[in-house]
């Protein structure tokens, strides 16, 4: 279906407008199919050249191609291929100094005849290891003067006037992704590698190990299980970061139980004042659920959500507490239904020792 050009001031019915929007997307989808079918051996040659690059990948283009280049650079950086965007105008006024002799330059231009790009080819040839063209015109000046040319061929722009870059920039973006992800596989780039480059936000946090998010050292609340409940809570204000759980250890320093604010509240509710002067081990949650510090953080999140517990002790190979994960430390990684349950307050405080209580019981 040929995209229909409407006269100025003509406003079709909503159904027509929606169909027009769908047709724009279909046009770009068709362009991607065409670009995929046109990939050939030079694409693999370009991937090999980038894989062997000892420097960085410089990406340049003008107008919308520069915008696409910025995204490709970001994708390459996050998947193991160091890259940067080289602004065409700034390059001609000194920024060529950032180009190293080991760098490969990826040049984006649909026509391959942009005046600014053509003027830059000579200096880039002298300063870099090699030039790769990404263009729609295999016979262009850019394609002929580059070492390799990935040509996706002529494409019909989705713009109603056939002018604004649309299908062409979509094709460039997709081919850039194809290059980045092929290189990612060639480098055996792992999920752990990805996490190292994404330390912020839930995207990166979900690939981390427990020790990256756990509370540790002076943030922990630790006490001996031989101390009385009164002694333990008399010094709570001097112990660690605020949390509802106190980790209790035996004489060898191994974790043997948890005692929480909820456990203390139950003693008062049950009028068990005599327990306050008894060893805390008599009323603690013994053998709580634990996790190793090198376990994936998602394993810890799953344990918290599955058992509806708010604190998860982290232990070393000898069973000694080295950290603590509080539900507030990982709340952004909880499944939606678990977050909603927490917000509703339906993580009920059950009787001491129950497996679904706020104490991390076994």
Of residues 322 and 262, the one with the higher pLDDT is 322
Of residues 208 and 339, the one with the higher pLDDT is 208
CATH number at residue 70: 3.40.50.10490
Kindly state whether residues 32 and 178 are assigned to the same domain: yes
In this predicted model, what pLDDT tens digit does every residue of 23-40 receive, in sequence order?
A: 999 999 999 999 999 999
In this predicted model, what pLDDT tens digit does every residue of 129-140 receive, in sequence order?
A: 999 999 999 999
Kindly state whether residues 35 and 175 are assigned to the same domain: yes
Question: What pLDDT is recorded for position 67?
Answer: 96
Average pLDDT on 143-170 reads 92
Q: Does residue 7 belong to any structural domain of this protein?
A: no
Question: What pLDDT is recorded for position 55?
Answer: 96
Q: Does residue 99 belong to any structural domain of this protein?
A: yes
Of residues 216 and 265, the one with the higher pLDDT is 216
Question: What pLDDT is recorded for position 267?
Answer: 83
Report how many domains make up the chain. Answer: 2
Question: What pLDDT is recorded for position 7?
Answer: 55
Kindly state whether residues 259 and 180 are assigned to the same domain: no
Kindly state whether residues 216 and 146 are assigned to the same domain: no
CATH number at residue 333: 3.10.580.10
Residue 45's domain comprises 14-189
Kindly state whether residues 154 and 215 are assigned to the same domain: no
Kindly state whether residues 309 and 220 are assigned to the same domain: yes
Question: What pLDDT is recorded for position 268?
Answer: 83
Kindly state whether residues 331 and 226 are assigned to the same domain: yes
One-letter-per-residue 3-state SS of the chain:
CCCCCCCCCCCCCHHHHHHHHHHHHHHHHHHHHHHHHHCCHHHHHHHHHHHCCCCCEEEEECCHHHHHHHHHHHHHHHCCCCEEECCHHHHCCCHHHHCCCCCEEEEEECCCCCHHHHHHHHHHHHHCCEEEEEECCCCCHHHHHCCEEEECCCCCCCCCCCCCCCHHHHHHHHHHHHHHHHHHHHCCCCHHHHHHCCCCHHHHHCCCEHHHCCECHHHCCEEECCCEHHHHHHCHHHCCCCCCEEEEECCCCCEEEEEEHHHHHHHHHCCCHHHHHCEHHHCCEECCCCEECCCEHHHHHHHHHHHCCCEEEEECCCCCEEEEEEHHHCHHHCCHHHHHHHHHCCCCCCCCCCCCCCCCCC
Judge whether residue 195 has pLDDT over 80.
no
Judge whether residue 187 has pLDDT over 80.
yes
Question: What pLDDT is recorded for position 276?
Answer: 83
Average pLDDT of the chain?
Answer: 85
In this predicted model, what pLDDT tens digit does every residue of 58-73 receive, in sequence order?
A: 999 999 999 999 999 9
Kindly state whether residues 102 and 215 are assigned to the same domain: no
Kindly state whether residues 243 and 166 are assigned to the same domain: no
Kindly state whether residues 119 and 22 are assigned to the same domain: yes
Q: Does residue 198 belong to any structural domain of this protein?
A: no
Kindly state whether residues 55 and 179 are assigned to the same domain: yes
Residue with token string 């974790």: 255
């Amino acid at each position: 279906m040929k995209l229909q050009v409407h006269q100025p001031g003509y406003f079709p019915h909503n159904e027509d407008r929606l169909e027009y929007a769908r047709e724009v997307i279909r046009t770009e989808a068709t362009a991607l199919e065409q670009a995929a079918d046109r990939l050939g051996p030079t694409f693999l040659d370009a991937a090999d050249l980038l894989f062997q690059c000892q420097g960085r990948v410089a990406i340049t283009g003008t107008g919308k191609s520069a915008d696409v280049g910025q995204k490709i650079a970001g994708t390459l950086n996050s998947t193991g291929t160091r890259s940067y965007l080289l602004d065409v105008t700034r390059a001609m006024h000194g920024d060529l100094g950032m180009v190293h002799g080991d760098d490969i330059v990826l040049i984006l231009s649909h026509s391959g005849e942009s005046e600014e790009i053509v003027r830059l080819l000579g200096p880039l040839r002298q300063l870099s290891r090699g030039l790769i063209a990404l263009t729609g015109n295999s016979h262009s000046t850019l394609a002929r003067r580059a070492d390799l040319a990935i040509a996706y061929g002529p494409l019909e722009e989705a713009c109603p006037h056939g002018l604004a870059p649309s299908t062409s920039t979509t094709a460039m973006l997709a081919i850039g992704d194809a290059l980045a992800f092929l290189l990612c596989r060639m480098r055996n780039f792992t999920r752990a590698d990805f996490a190292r480059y994404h330390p912020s936000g839930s995207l990166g946090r979900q690939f981390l190990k427990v020790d990256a998010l756990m509370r540790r050292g002076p943030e922990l609340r630790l006490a001996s299980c031989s101390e009385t409940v009164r002694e333990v809570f008399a010094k709570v204000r001097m112990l660690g970061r605020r949390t509802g759980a106190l980790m209790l250890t035996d004489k060898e320093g191994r974790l043997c139980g948890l005692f929480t604010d909820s456990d203390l509240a139950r003693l008062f509710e049950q009028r068990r004042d005599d327990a306050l002067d008894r060893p805390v081990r008599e009323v603690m949650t013994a053998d709580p659920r634990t996790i190793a510090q090198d376990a994936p953080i998602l394993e810890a999140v799953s344990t918290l959500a599955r058992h509806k517990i708010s604190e998860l002790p982290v232990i070393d190979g000898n069973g000694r507490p080295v950290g603590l994960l509080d539900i507030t430390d990982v709340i952004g990684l909880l499944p939606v239904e678990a977050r909603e349950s927490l917000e509703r307050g339906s993580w009920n405080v059950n009787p001491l020792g129950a497996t679904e209580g706020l104490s991390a019981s076994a």
